[in-house]
Structure 1
Amino acid sequence: MSTPFTDPFTAPQYHQAALITVDVQNDTLDGAPFEVPGTTAILPAIERLCRSFRDAGRPIVHVMRIYTPDGEDADRCRRSILRDGQSLFLKGSEGRRPADALLPDRDILIDDDLLMAGKIQKVGPEEVLIFKPRWGSFHRTPLEDHLKEKSVSTLVFCGCNYPNCPRTSIYQASEHDYRITVVVDAMSGIQARDIDELKNIGVNCAAVEDICELLMES
């Protein structure tokens, strides 16, 4: 069987690629209320990816969570803790901001109302924020229309806590027929068995430096 690198139907096309960062927000970093082990450690790798995509003029989409204290539009498994007062990606809080390493300008103001209305917030020439209300980045979001507008064929994923939102988003991307790369050293919570699983569905698994080099060559 052909590998994801050589199969003409799955091989990445980096000249038509977009970078997708998933849930790399302050509340997931070390010492935060929703600390996800390994997420702070991968910030330099994600920052490197973002710089490379900016330099190449390729699209970057930062997908993020925002909750309200009543948990009205949250995953069912999180509604109780939000109503009990847990500070988790709360609207207007520092915790819901993307980590500083991701953004082109650390003083960018987040427009919660715009994002929660299903709109896109532009934060750079080819860089945007998108809010997702559930695990997957395509569910009730403007992501698919945005990618079509940018003529994207390949999605490069990095982010926080692979078993939950990144994994769901990757499988949704596969269902939408995108070519997919997962940057394993820029993804927290990913294990060797996960990499094997991804390769079995035609996902290219690579390291940050490999992607940055391939992006420059494309």
Structure 2
Amino acid sequence: MGSESAVTPNMHALLIIDMQNDFVLPGGPAAVAGAPATVPNIRRVLEKFRVGGWPVFHLIRHYRPDGSDVELFRRDAFMQGPAYLLPGSTGARIVAELTPQPGEQVIVKPRFSAFMGTALDLVLRRRGVRQLVVCGTQYPNCIRATVMDAVCLDYAVTLVTDAASAQTAAVAQANILDMANIGVACRTTAQLEALDC
């Protein structure tokens, strides 16, 4: 009874996808060209959620050193080196500007989608979350897969378009268009800041 009373119907949560050094820092072995420019906007969104006391989830990727869990299309490059996103490495850490605070959950995902093979859906539902705000990197892979699964699971999804990245602006725009066409609310950081969530 006590735990049920703590649940807020239609609560929203922030999902920050793969903002790790190896993906974000220029020159990193898996660097996404557009990622560094999004860090300040993601920070703004993150601060809004922190001030509001709303749930924040940092979704990250780790690879085994032997490459046995690397996606098939990346495996050859990973095995040729340098290896990246190794658990405990500097490259696998979340970028300093977005370091998780106590109470913010960090979930390691085994594939692109934050929902595949993780407890994310269970935890969100237990907390009464029905609306998700998504940002991070990168569009055609982990952002898109996470958003698609969220829509399939009947979450209302807001994508923060200038707080998510791709290798090129053209790739980003194509993905934004596709997600808008399945009912995802596509908003800028400034537009999100003007809302109650």
- TM-score class, shorter: 0.7 to 0.9
After superposition, give the CA deviation of every residue in 1:72-126 in whole Å (9 maximum; x if it has no partner). Answer: 222122233333332211121100011111124xxxxxxxxxxxxxxxxxx423x
Match of 1:135 in 2: 112
Q: Residue 96 of structure 1 aligns to a residue in which SS?
A: coil
Letter paired with 1:70: D
CA-based RMSD: 1.7
- Describe the shift of the 1:146–1:193 C-alpha distance in structure 2 as closer, same or farther (beyond 3 A): same
Q: Are 1:195 and 2:176 an aligned pair?
A: yes
Instruction: List gaps (5 residues or longer) in structure 1.
Output: 1-13, 105-122
Q: Residue 169 of structure 1 aligns to a residue in which SS?
A: helix
Query: Would the aligned equivalents of 1:46 and 1:101 in 2 still touch at CA under 8 Å?
Result: no
Q: What TM-score does the superposition give when structure 1 sets the normalisation length?
A: 0.79
Q: Are 1:74 and 2:70 an aligned pair?
A: yes
Identity of aligned residues (%): 38
Letter paired with 2:12: A
After superposition, give the CA deviation of every residue in 1:162-209 in whole Å (9 maximum; x if it has no partner). Answer: 011100110000110000000001010253332221121110000112
Q: Are 1:44 and 2:40 an aligned pair?
A: yes
Query: Would the aligned equivalents of 1:137 and 1:143 in 2 still touch at CA under 8 Å?
Result: yes
Q: Residue 139 of structure 2 aligns to a residue in which SS?
A: coil
Letter paired with 2:181: N
Match of 2:6 in 1: none
Query: Would the aligned equivalents of 1:69 and 1:85 in 2 still touch at CA under 8 Å?
Result: no
**Partners of 2:65 and 2:172 in 1: how far apart?**
33
Query: Would the aligned equivalents of 2:59 and 2:114 in 1 still touch at CA under 8 Å?
Result: yes
Instruction: List gaps (5 residues or longer) in structure 2.
Output: 1-8
Match of 1:21 in 2: 16
Query: Would the aligned equivalents of 1:20 and 1:158 in 2 still touch at CA under 8 Å?
Result: yes
Residue correspondence of structure 1 range 137-216 to structure 2 within 5 A? 137-189=114-166, 191-215=172-196
Q: What TM-score does the superposition give when structure 2 sets the normalisation length?
A: 0.87
